Structure 1
Amino acid sequence: MTAEFAVTLPAVVLLLGLLLAGSAAGLTQLRLEEAARAGARALARGENAAAVGGIVRQLAGDSVLTAVASDGVWLSVKVSGTVSGAVGTLVPWTLTATAWARSESPGAAEASVPGTAPYVLGRGA
């Protein structure tokens, strides 16, 4: 009985660790997607890129990287972050979420996003 327990215990611990790592990655991805959607909605309403960065940091955390872009009619917000926790430090997973929105007011895209190239807001302080 003791030998079987000694053989199966590491497998059970490894399985539990993988399940916890997968759930941490899933929760991080959901946070990033919600932050990207909220940022795209704010950008479509006419908020500037700095305000969008604040909204994204509030929802996804200070360690995320945010980029906003415009092609004239469509606005995009891309949010990238790493998985937190013990497994995130061992395996540096970088997750990304992108949300697109159509500008609600004409000219808001040009006023809120400087230029047509992606405008990277950077990481929070």
Structure 2
Amino acid sequence: MRRLRGDRGAVTAEIALALPAVVLVLLVVLSVGAAGIAQLRATDGARVAARAVTAGYDDAEAAAQARAVAGEGASVAVVRDGEWVRVTVRRPLGASWTPAAGLRARATAVARVEP
């Protein structure tokens, strides 16, 4: 089998052209995954804090539990309105190197406080 001299290095050139696109797609997939995980953790943190308040914990302890579940960098707000409590958790979507670095996930849970 005889090789043509004009085909020499063609695979290398094709890989060099396709590699940046593959890296970009991978970065987008990782960012979307990180955003989904951040949203789930914020939601879980808000639910944990709302349940903690209904179980009789004070607002500071409930907020600490929400931060433990939501993860590093989460901010928690506990607002009581009569017999209802609303917990809002905000946390960054991803690491500082991801395209979603400046965005934040937000979740709110509402529960009725038993007398």
**TM-score computed with the length of structure 2 as normaliser:** 0.82
Q: Show structure 1 runs of 4+ deviating over 4 A.
A: none
- Aligned partner (choices 54, 61, 69) of residue 64 of structure 2: 54
Identify the residue that residue 30 of structure 2 maps to in structure 1: 20
Compute the RMSD of aligned alpha carbons: 1.5
Letter in 1 for 2:29: L
Unaligned stretches of 5+ residues in structure 1 = 107-125
- Between Structure 1 and Structure 2, how many residues are aligned? 104
Per-residue CA deviation, residues 33-64 of structure 1 (Å, 9 max, x unaligned), is 10100000011122111111110121112421
Letter in 1 for 2:65: I
Per-residue CA deviation, residues 58-82 of structure 1 (Å, 9 max, x unaligned), is 1112421110112212211000011
Q: Does 1:84 align with 2:94?
A: yes
Q: Give the number of the structure with larger relative contact order, counting CA–CA contacts within 8 Å between residues 6 or more apart.
A: 1
Residue aligned with 1:8, SS: helix
Query: How much has 1:6 moved relative to structure 2?
Result: 1.5
Q: Does 1:35 align with 2:45?
A: yes
User: In percent, how many aligned pairs have the same letter?
Assistant: 40
> Which structure: larger Rg?
2
